[in-house]
Structure 1
Amino acid sequence: MVTALAVEPVDGPDVLGRGRADGATLAVLFVMALLLIPARLVIKGLPLSLTPASLFSLLAGMCWMCATFTTTLGAAKGRTPARTALFVYTTATLATYGVASYGFLPADELRLADHALVLIIANVGIALAVCDGVRGADRLDFVLKAVVVCGAVIAVIAVFQFAVGLDLTRYLELPGLRYSTEGSMVEIRDSLRRVAATATHPIEFGVLSSMLLPLAAHYGFQARERAEPTVRWWVCTGLIGAGLMFSVSRSAVLGAGVVAAVLLSGWPGRRRARALSVAAVFLVLMKVLVPGLLGTFYGLFANFGTDNSVLYRTNDYSIAIAEIARHPWLGRGIGTWYAPKYIVFDNQYILTVVETGVIGVTVFAAVFLAGAYSALRARYLSGNPGRRDLGLTLAACLLVPLVGSATFDLLAFPMVTGVSFLLIGAAGSLLRTSREEAGTVSGRNLLETPDRHGSETPGRPGEAG
């Protein structure tokens, strides 16, 4: 058994036991597998199409479950809004799956329902492993910095795809893996290359970039305020920003707009002015270096009412309404509405209400709202400026998939879904840390360990869940 959640709490800021793996270790391995390995590469020989990242997230969920049953492996105990929302989401999903599979389902739909259930359990597993297994701000920073660095690496891949049409992912052949789909990750829109890096589609890559951009900027600002080297983080920020532009995605711009609205409302005036100045310079550079790019983005929104992709998204409303009326509460079953058998809903909310009903779509949105609330609550409780800024940043990141789900079927894209659930767990972990620092943890310390006489001895500071 991998005791990846094992933590040896020590006095002082270092919460990780010397030389021992913890939840952050598994989370970083998951991030590397999720972002650096092309999402189209799946494991050979399995009846279900699972990526290495899904395997890591299932392992993380198993470790979380084992650690939850003990008081010696360092996993946090007790409720948080994020953890409660994940529990409700899982319960609703299982109810939908049970009702759908209890009745008759065609063999193809039942097989896809099984696959969808495994992926949902995997995503919830990594979220819980981060929420309860990443203990302390230093370990959380370790995970989130890994997310930023990996995001910058795949942005470099996107730059090559956009600038010279070179898809580096085609040269990545790993033993034990196979490509689930063929074809290039480079598309053309208005004579411009539209790239996906290691993601499955440019929309996914663009939305992912809009989620990672505020995290990169956060560590750039924090390094500056701590008088630490800042160049590396601003390089990451620039690369991720370029990747967002090179996706040529309307959803990515909407996500960036949501992020900007949240951050600008919470940042101090000096940082707000600096960020707006940098954004203006960045856009000027994009206009000079890539003529026509900004005009293409302008056209995506100026022609919104006549855009074929928008009209396609709205023409399926009548079909969705009729299907929802047949199964209003728990839906027809997760994963059972798929192309080419059925029309594609480029809207995760519509697809979710069709597959899981009103209950399912409500808890789906609640998971992201609970994550954003956890992050903002951590910001409120913490007296540390860095933690407060991270809380605001995570809240901004988690609103991106909430808004993006209205423009594309988010759960069909493994990379952006995996990062979304990881950030939900990160928000829960940050809230636990802020509660411990503020001394507001309620209830008995569930990490108390019995002494040799059988009585309970309170754990050391920082062990409370």
Structure 2
Amino acid sequence: MASDPDVRAITSTPVGRSGGAARERGGVPLLIRFTLMAIFVFPASMVIEPIGASGTVPILLCLLLLLFWLASWLWGLHDPVPVRHPGRLAMSLLLLASFASYAALYAGWTGGSTEVTRASADRWLLLLAASSALVLVVAESIRSIADAMQVVRALLTGAFFCCLVGVVQFAFRVNPVEWIQAAMPGFTYNGGDTPFQIRGALMRVAGTTFHSIEFGVVSSMLIPLSIWRALNDPSGRRWFHWAQTALLVFAVATTVSRSGILALLVSLVVFLPFLTRSIRRWVLLASPFVVAAMFVFVPGFVGTIGAALGADTSDPSIATRVNNYPRVAQMLDTRPLLGAGPGNYSPPDALKILDNQYLGAIVTLGLVGLVATIAYLVLPGVASVLAARAARAPVLKGLAGAVAAGTLVAAACSMTFDSLSFPVFALLYPALVGLAGGVWRLVQAEATASSEHRPDLVPVRTTGTHPTRIPPDGEGV
């Protein structure tokens, strides 16, 4: 990993409640933190009507971030060129594939250029622009563990709100999202959300997301980061941080989703090896109590999810997924390279929905887009695993492992639902990719600092153009 001139050093002491370095305040701008929270807080079903489906609060905030980023680059306030990380490469590949498919659609090469298809392609590019903003600005804003902690807090605060809505939905069968919608003058309800859905003996809920599957997956993506935050955050009360983690686990249970269970298993399998041995033991010891709590707080959960996991192709949900493959093969034969155009698959009925993001990429972006989609969904997670293996400080190793878990959950579960069609997932994932880029740079800085062979000083956050340092005991210089 190449060195970055903008990131000189990080704290190599664990973030905790007593260390001086742990008390350092992060420098992530408020607009970025508010945007991360807004992903979960503002319903994506509410849009500014003239803009259409892309006129949601989170997407508009992301586009505003992109404008600020471009303006600051043009005016020479920052230089993004040296800030290299695998997530930026992955995002660039998906952008290039989408641009190629977009051009083919508008040129009429795909044979399906209509006003409707062009509008769908425009929406896809706006989503990618918003996603690019998160990948770029989040990565460039993280120059210390304290910065990373600010980003994690913002994401978890939004997710906590989403989970509270899910609890109200599950316990009282009312939808607080309707109250939020009523308090958004100037916005129009655009539909698409499914707050309630029956499975077996239970009512599945979605929180502020579009669907219970999305709710379960995004909650599982954040559980490792919530555990890392509970172990290392110097601010707030630790019991409350653990309560937030428990609420995320409860959210996965309330979705009664096979994808949610898969996501939870992937996240823990990836994350646990990068925790200290004592923490791993505590997590394993707590697991039986978590399962027991599911019996108490979600009656019928184990039986319902057991039946769902044991279903075969006679289950309509599984049958439709299996039947997708021959249909996709036929569509691939028609437009093999660049597909039908970005965002241009409109199922004639619910049974024809492609519950697989990779199949969706084949249909809309062709084989070129499939390769780019795989890179976008897999490369950041693999890079984060490598960063976690290379990190020396336990707090940084744990952070990299948590980010790796969240991003690899996205890669795995994109095989079980069309993930980038869901608004919360579609913005949470690039936020995690940006966080992964920041972690990648912190690991670079740690390696650079250790090569200086200065055991008398602990490198911390860069201030201006010179790294500020403090002694190992945490007292100021």
The structure 2 residue matched to 1:59, chosen from 43, 61, 64, is 64
The structure 1 residue matched to 2:403, chosen from 382, 394, 407, is 394
**C-alpha deviation, 1:390, in angstroms:** 0.4
Structure 1 gaps of 5+ residues are 1-7, 443-457
C-alpha distance after superposition, 1:379-434 (max 9, x if no partner): 24433211110001100100111011111100110101111110001000111122
SS of 2:467's partner is coil
- 2: distance between equivalents of 1:398 and 1:218? 15
- Which letter maps to 1:364? T
Q: CA RMSD in A?
A: 2.9
SS of 1:439's partner is helix
Please tell me whether the aligned partners of residues 37 and 157 of structure 2 are also in contact (alpha carbons under 8 angstroms).
no
1:162 matched to 2:167? The reply is no
- 2: distance between equivalents of 1:214 and 1:108? 40
- 2: distance between equivalents of 1:327 and 1:154? 40
Q: Percent identity?
A: 27
Partner of 2:375: 366
The structure 1 residue matched to 2:189, chosen from 144, 161, 179, is 179
Which TM-score applies when normalising by structure 2? 0.84
Please tell me whether the aligned partners of residues 230 and 238 of structure 2 are also in contact (alpha carbons under 8 angstroms).
yes
Superposed counterparts of 1:133-212, under 5 Å:
133-172=141-180, 173=182, 174-181=184-191, 185-212=195-222
- 2: distance between equivalents of 1:107 and 1:11? 51
- Which letter maps to 1:151? A
Q: 1:47 to 1:302 in 2, by over 3 A?
A: closer
Please tell me whether the aligned partners of residues 381 and 435 of structure 1 are also in contact (alpha carbons under 8 angstroms).
no
**C-alpha deviation, 1:255, in angstroms:** 0.5
- 2: distance between equivalents of 1:183 and 1:403? 23
Which TM-score applies when normalising by structure 1? 0.86
- 2: distance between equivalents of 1:250 and 1:64? 39
Superposed counterparts of 1:306-455, under 5 Å:
306-340=314-348, 343-439=352-448
Superposed counterparts of 1:238-257, under 5 Å:
238-257=246-265
Please tell me whether the aligned partners of residues 23 and 129 of structure 1 are also in contact (alpha carbons under 8 angstroms).
no
- Which letter maps to 2:208? T
1:221 matched to 2:226? The reply is no
SS of 2:299's partner is coil
SS of 1:316's partner is helix
Superposed counterparts of 1:27-42, under 5 Å:
27-42=32-47
Partner of 1:129: 137
Query: Number of residues paired by the alignment?
Result: 435
Partner of 2:312: 304
1:265 matched to 2:284? The reply is no
- 1: distance between equivalents of 2:192 and 2:92? 36
Partner of 1:461: 467
SS of 1:188's partner is strand
Q: 1:266 to 1:70 in 2, by over 3 A?
A: same
Q: 1:245 to 1:200 in 2, by over 3 A?
A: same
- Which letter maps to 1:405? S
The structure 2 residue matched to 1:102, chosen from 87, 98, 107, is 107
Please tell me whether the aligned partners of residues 28 and 151 of structure 2 are also in contact (alpha carbons under 8 angstroms).
no
SS of 1:336's partner is coil
SS of 2:466's partner is coil
- 2: distance between equivalents of 1:179 and 1:44? 9
Please tell me whether the aligned partners of residues 37 and 158 of structure 2 are also in contact (alpha carbons under 8 angstroms).
yes
Please tell me whether the aligned partners of residues 24 and 142 of structure 1 are also in contact (alpha carbons under 8 angstroms).
no
**C-alpha deviation, 1:260, in angstroms:** 1.6
Structure 2 gaps of 5+ residues are 1-5, 12-19, 452-463, 469-477
- 2: distance between equivalents of 1:9 and 1:66? 22
Please tell me whether the aligned partners of residues 381 and 434 of structure 1 are also in contact (alpha carbons under 8 angstroms).
yes
Question: Higher relative contact order by CA 8 Å / sep ≥ 6: 1 or 2?
Answer: 2
C-alpha distance after superposition, 1:326-375 (max 9, x if no partner): 12122111111113379321111111111111111111121232211332
